[in-house]
Structure 1
Amino acid sequence: MNKPIIHFIISAVLGLGIGYIAFDVIPASDGQEKEVTAVNEPSSSEAPAKEEKESADTTSAAAGEENILQTKGCLGCHSVEALNLTGGATGPDLSDAFTNVEGKHGKPVEEFLKEPTSAVMSGVIGGNPLTEEEIKQVVEILKEASEK
């Protein structure tokens, strides 16, 4: 074989391996640690502390619900800026998905999550289908994001 082809194959294998580790393994624990850190930060006065705690509780509650987005790998490609969830930049931000999916894909978000009409999402969800309960949790999160 030619040297360039061998170099390409080795680079591709290394790149895919590193990509898997960086985007599949690390974010699951990294995002949860950030949430805990944000909740436990001390503040200098009583009133702002209460506001920060309420905000942190909202974020924590959302993070508890959003765990479905982390466990199913949604945040590997998507972000939800309305809920301060940063993720991958490959897929679109899901902040308005609850209201936009039907117009874009011709079916409500619940139905889209059962049977996606886009080629990419068909492959992703087809290989790792969501249960009815998981779909319900994702829809609740997307609805919450669209209301902010």
Structure 2
Amino acid sequence: MKQTVIIFLVSALIGLAGGYVYFQPGEKGGTNAAQTAKQETESVSEPSASAGKEGAKGETANASTQDGNILQKKGCLSCHSVSKLNLQGGTTGPDLSNAYQVVEGKHGKPIEEFLKAPTSAVMSGVIKSNPLTDEERADIIALLKEASEK
């Protein structure tokens, strides 16, 4: 039991330290999550040569990727994925495909309130260091709702 608690605490500290390092700007020419997300957003928003050949299925995938930019911009995809929208991210956090439906049952508050003041220790640290505006929160909720409906 004692060993399990120690392992848990060490793992939690490593995870928090990794998040801290990821969201802090580098000392010499390093980038932070916002700069990385901006670079990714710019590369995703560039039109491709096959843009005119996309069918209905391609348009859906493209729309989901563009909608996923808020998740990239805010660094959510560094820990989470949204597999139902084909948004690949980290594996540290749970897949957010069903978050719209399960957050209230799991955390005791609606998703809107959870994104304002999370009840999990890791997420409260992340949100505290990188708060969401009302518009960003609405965009994330709309995206997670879309994922839950697929």
TM-score by length of 2: 0.69
Larger relative helix fraction: 1
Give the aligned residue type for 1:106: G
2:144 — aligned with what?
A: 142
Matched, 1:115 2:117: yes
Give yes or no for contact 2:70–2:139 (8 Å, CA) kept in 1.
Answer: yes
Rounded Cα–Cα distance in structure 1 between residues aligned with 2:106 and 2:62: 31
1:129 — aligned with what?
A: 131
Rounded Cα–Cα distance in structure 1 between residues aligned with 2:132 and 2:37: 20
1:78 — aligned with what?
A: 80
1:59 — aligned with what?
A: 61
Give the aligned residue type for 1:135: R
- 1:66 deviates by 1.6
User: Residue by residue, what CA displacement relative to the aligned partner does 1:28-78 show, whole Å, maximum 9, x if unpaired?
Assistant: 6457646868x6448xxxxxx5xx422222222222222110000000000
- 1:89 deviates by 0.5
SS in 2 for 1:68: helix
Rounded Cα–Cα distance in structure 2 between residues aligned with 1:65 and 1:35: 11
Q: Percent identity?
A: 52
For structure 1, list consecutive stretches of 5 or more residues without a partner in the other structure. 1-15, 43-48
User: Residue by residue, what CA displacement relative to the aligned partner does 1:64-123 show, whole Å, maximum 9, x if unpaired?
Assistant: 222110000000000000000000000000000000100100011111001100000000
Report the CA distance shift for 1:22/1:133 in structure 2 as closer, same or farther (over 3 A). Answer: closer
Give yes or no for contact 1:79–1:93 (8 Å, CA) kept in 2.
Answer: yes
- 1:22 deviates by 9.7
Rounded Cα–Cα distance in structure 2 between residues aligned with 1:32 and 1:85: 16
Number of positions where the alignment pairs a residue of Structure 1 with one of Structure 2: 123
For structure 2, list consecutive stretches of 5 or more residues without a partner in the other structure. 1-17, 23-29
Bigger radius of gyration? 1
Give yes or no for contact 2:37–2:73 (8 Å, CA) kept in 1.
Answer: no
2:70 — aligned with what?
A: 68
Rounded Cα–Cα distance in structure 1 between residues aligned with 2:36 and 2:133: 25
SS in 1 for 2:148: helix
TM-score by length of 1: 0.70
Give yes or no for contact 1:35–1:63 (8 Å, CA) kept in 2.
Answer: no
